[in-house]
Amino acid sequence: MIVEVRPRWAFVLPVRGGPDGLTVVRGGVLHRLLDIGPGEPPVLVCVAQPSRERVVFSARGASRPARAWAIDRMRQALGVDQDLRPFYERFRFDPLIGRAVRSDPAMRVGGKPEPFEALAWAVCEQLIETDRAFAIQRRLVWRLGRRCAETGLRTAPAAEVLSRQAPALLASFGLSEGRARLLARVAAAIARGRIDLYESDHERTWQRLRAIPGIGSWTVQMLALTGQGRLDQLPAGDLGFLKLVGRLRGGNPRARATETEVDEFFARFDPWAGLAGMHALRAARGSRFYSRTSLNSRVSHGASSSAARISASPA
């Protein structure tokens, strides 16, 4: 199956693979293997951009509906269908993010093709250094993801698979015992249908997730921003934003804002607070207000992708 898309706004295909090992770029073509579910073989999706006006998706494997689903999920993950012109027109001269917006109008929030992947990876990144989190994710993919014999690519572990694992095994990949139990508990809730991450009422889904001990606002907002295409959602408790807003508000390089203060600071960017936050982190790069954060790895730049080194993300 081949689908050609004409982006609604400036778009540049990412030229680097992801730090979790799931996405690979070969010869300028992005490759990603997606798990469709039990009884179906994984689908290989390849994405190329022959010109600024054309982005071509191809899918191999499984049934035609499964291939169509996989392409649709990759379209959302890459943000190729997003019309960001209103955002650009409104904020291109903004004193905080205007220069970053003008210099990289094609920037997207790097998303995940499946909401559960975004949720599981957010759990892995809670209160841990970014490099350690990426290493844990790679171990999970290598051990529990489904493998394509032809390409060597693997899928992200499905909720059904993770729900069957003993917390001790998950902890052996580098998770703390508490995070390992939490990941297994969240996976079980998804696998057994108690929580539907594809439900159109996102707020109700978030409320159910927040009822699980260990799932806080940051984790839910990361799911929303990177797994459900909600550009209005800002992970306000992220260390990068706490430091950035704290310093901008008072000029003290050691100051940290509260989560509420971060939300208030970015309220004027509604309904693009999440996207504006990514631009703000980029605008602060190289200045005394900059702080490295795992969110930098969620940015798909027009020219290249950035990978941060340190984060301390809350629940």
The CATH number linked to 9 is 3.30.310.20
At residue 148, does pLDDT exceed 90? yes
Report pLDDT digits (tens) over 70-93: 999 999 999 999 999 999 999 999
Amino acid at 168: A
The answer to whether residues 119 and 184 belong to one domain is yes
- Identify whether 141 is part of a domain: no
Which domain does 40 fall in, by range? 2-83
Report pLDDT digits (tens) over 50-66: 999 999 999 998 789 99
Q: Token pair of 265, please?
A: 């600071």
The answer to whether residues 222 and 236 belong to one domain is no
User: Whole-angstrom Cα distance, residue 239 to residue 235?
Assistant: 9
The answer to whether residues 40 and 54 belong to one domain is yes
pLDDT of residue 21: 93
- Identify whether 137 is part of a domain: no
pLDDT of residue 219: 97
Q: Token pair of 242, please?
A: 């706490």
pTM over 0.85: yes
Give the CA angle between residues 149, 155, 160 to the nearest 5°: 120
Q: Token pair of 298, please?
A: 């969620």
Task: Please report the beta strands in the chain, taking only residues with DSSP state E, as ranges in sequence order.
Answer: 2-5, 23-26, 29-34, 43-51, 54-60, 108-109, 299-300
Report pLDDT digits (tens) over 263-307: 999 999 999 999 999 999 998 875 544 444 555 555 565 543 332
The answer to whether residues 19 and 65 belong to one domain is yes
- Identify whether 74 is part of a domain: yes
